Amino acid sequence: MTEHQGIIALSHAPGTDLLVGLAHPSSDIVLFDYSHGRVQQLVPGIPWRPGNPLSREVVVTKKGKIYTYRGTEDPAQRDEVYRIWAYDLETNASTETAYTATGGFWNGQTWTRDGEAIYLATVNGELYRLDVETEVFTHLGHFLPTEEYRAGVRVDSLYGITLSADEKRIYGIPRRSGSGASNLYSYEIAAGAVTLVGQLEPAIYTGSHMRDSRGNIYFAKFGDGESWEVKARLSILRP
């Protein structure tokens, strides 16, 4: 598909026969026509600059818009701000939008069944909502309860988020600053607040939008909370 590059994120463009890939390290958008088994187009990505890696997510909406973002990864750089870019499948135009994000690159997404809202998490724990119809990005805050955030706790890494079956809350298992503990949190959408659900076995948890018809949520689980090594397992959160 791409020469001397890999694909770090993959999605489907609704209503088309296109798979949308995000090429690494260029951040080029790869449009793959799976009905004909060929690359249809390679769209130049966000211009690179030192210390500004590409996200682990490519966002594709039912309106034919593809959103990409570059950020950082080091928690020490969590306050850096960058622009979100959009590519329009109909007009073949790629533009820098008026919206920005912070808290590291995108590293998790989940969406409503009707495709009207897409939620994004950054690697350092910021949560965003994309209203697909209006094409507006809204910053929902840090993925920690208010009392923990005010006490100086921050998310160092968050590797996935998933909507509940009733689409009223978003679940995630971040690794917090200064702690190897693994706490399950939920963002209550109506209240706009993060709450602690419970403590899990210390590990690193990854995976986004992994939910079955019964509401079970799935995460991949690695290591001991500080290291990715050993103990690779599947973690199932039951409703």
* pLDDT digits 0-9 by tens, 90-127: 999 999 999 999 999 999 999 999 999 999 999 999 99
pLDDT band at 161, cuts 50/70/90? very high
pLDDT band at 48, cuts 50/70/90? confident
Q: Domain ranges for the chain, please list them.
A: 1-103, 143-239
Nearest to 61 by CA among 89, 40, 34: 89
Largest CA distance in the chain: 55
CB 80 within 8 A of CB 92: no
pTM of structure: 0.95
Mean pLDDT for the chain? 94
pLDDT band at 144, cuts 50/70/90? very high
Cα 63 to Cα 68, 86, 114, 135, distances in angstroms? 15, 12, 12, 9
Question: Which strands sit side by side in the sheet containing 136-142, from one edge to the other?
Answer: 106-111, 117-122, 126-131, 136-142
Nearest to 66 by CA among 83, 88, 81, 47: 88
Q: At CA 49, angle to CA 125 and CA 65, rounded to 5?
A: 65
pLDDT band at 49, cuts 50/70/90? confident
pLDDT band at 52, cuts 50/70/90? confident
- The pLDDT value recorded for residue 181 is 82
- Ramachandran quadrant class, 224 (left: phi over 0; alpha: psi -120 to 50; beta: rest): alpha
239: pLDDT strictly greater than 60:
yes
Q: What is the mean pLDDT of residues 52-77?
A: 95
**92 burial via Cβ count (<10 Å: 0-12, 13-18, 19+):** exposed
195: pLDDT strictly greater than 70:
yes
Peptide bond into 174 cis (omega under 30): no
In Å, how far from its chain's centre is CA 175? 15
162-174: pLDDT as tens digits = 999 999 999 999 9
227: pLDDT strictly greater than 80:
no
Q: What is the mean pLDDT of residues 150-155?
A: 96
- The pLDDT value recorded for residue 225 is 67
Q: What percent of the chain has pLDDT above 70?
A: 98
Q: What percent of the chain has pLDDT above 90?
A: 83
